[in-house]
A and B are shown apart, each in its own frame.
Chain A
Amino acid sequence: MRDPFTLFYTSNATTTTTLTSTIAIHQGTHGVVSALPPSLSLFSLIVTIASILLCSVIAMYFYRSYRFSGFGYLLGLPTGFAILAASFVFEHLHVVYSYSYTNESLENLFFWIQLSLQSEGFAFIALSYMLKNRDGSTSTINGLLPTASKILFSPHNWIHSSIKIREIIASVLPMILISIPLMVTISALFVQPILNETEIKDMSLYTTLFDIVVLGYIFVKCVKPLVKAANIKLLYIPAAFALLWLEQYSLIINYFDNNQFAFIGSIIIRLAGLGLFVYAIRYAVSSVRNREMEVER
């Protein structure tokens, strides 16, 4: 039986660094690679632990909200942030193994898993925003529209075609959204089971573009109701999503430019985004407690 890691065997051992390893210090040529510098290892570890902690806090708060309310659409957020937290583990492993010449296949494997999980995480978060008004907007509008089966099979109802098409798209879109990251990453294996660095870098570009689109969608859906309600105090979470969008944008710059500042900047922006998210949650929850204390006085 073939070792699963051989799927990611890199054909060219002397190729330059991958996306996240632009801060690597390669010594000499022909595959002589230095060991991971302790400072970089420590930096990666601290960033990973901080990111996981922040994601866990966010996931915990939204999971508690889901448990309390039973609103199914809220489950997308904790799931998404839990998957994101898992992706950071693989990101750290990828950085660690990117310095190891002997384990280059593992490096690509971890990078592949990280890309898949990160996109899937953002897709799950977007799912919450996509499904939030599902009850009122898609199944029936004032009870006048036909059910999904009638839409598809009854020619008498085709007069409402535009509304019907919108309904069909709305019901299929969440499934497409969730399956895109998996399809993109798995299809790369079908095209060529032995992934080389160039292919995995290309895949990272596609997934990053997907993340940018998804985060843009989340930002718009998140900011709209707050602007409508003229609630500027609650704009922290849209700002946090904007920072996560900026992180992906920095990664795109890094892809084309191999700019180490863009990569380090993306990490800092990500931490700032997640930190702001946690602060926004604490602010939202503590404002209730403060109000209660004022009432008690």
Chain B
Amino acid sequence: MRQEKRHKLQLFYEILCAIEDDIDHNKVARPTHIQHNCRLSYDKMMNHFIELGHRYMIYRDNSTGLISITSKGKKFVKQYNELINLIESAGL
């Protein structure tokens, strides 16, 4: 089934949620798990990781490849949830 095109904000949100979810379950977040959860190609996901890293929302350990979410990333997830709730409640 063809997936609907996702907005960049939504992609960031899904990636950050996947990271949080992976950390909750496995203590660490691995790129392959995140790729699987977000249904993204590896190249695209790496591009998003770079952008999220530039925005200080995630931290990537270059030696192990493991990823962690920063407080700014957590704030983004919270704000995105609020935005979606607000938009939905206004029927927009």
Contact = CB atoms under 8 A, between A and B. Distances in A.
A96 to B, nearest CB: 34
A65 B88 CA distance: 12
A209 to B, nearest CB: 24
Contact of A284 (B9, B80, B86): B86
Given A288-B81, A288-B82, A292-B78, A65 B91 contact: no
A61 B86 contact: yes
A295 to B, nearest CB: 9
B89 A223 contact: no
A273 to B, nearest CB: 14
A68 interface: yes
Interface residues of B, number: 15
B87 interface: yes
A62 B79 CA distance: 13
Given A65-B83, A69-B9, A280 B89 contact: yes
B1 interface: no
A283 B78 contact: no
Nearest to A128: B92
B85 interface: yes
Nearest to B92: A132
B79 A68 contact: yes
Interface centre among B9, B79, B90 (most CB of A within 10 A): B90
Contact of A236 (B79, B81, B89): B89
B85 A69 contact: no
Interface in A238-297: 238, 280-281, 283-285, 287-289, 291-292
Interface string A221-237: 11111100101001011
A70 B12 CA distance: 14
Interface of A: 61-62, 65, 68-70, 73-74, 77, 128-129, 132, 221-226, 229, 231, 234, 236-238, 280-281, 283-285, 287-289, 291-292
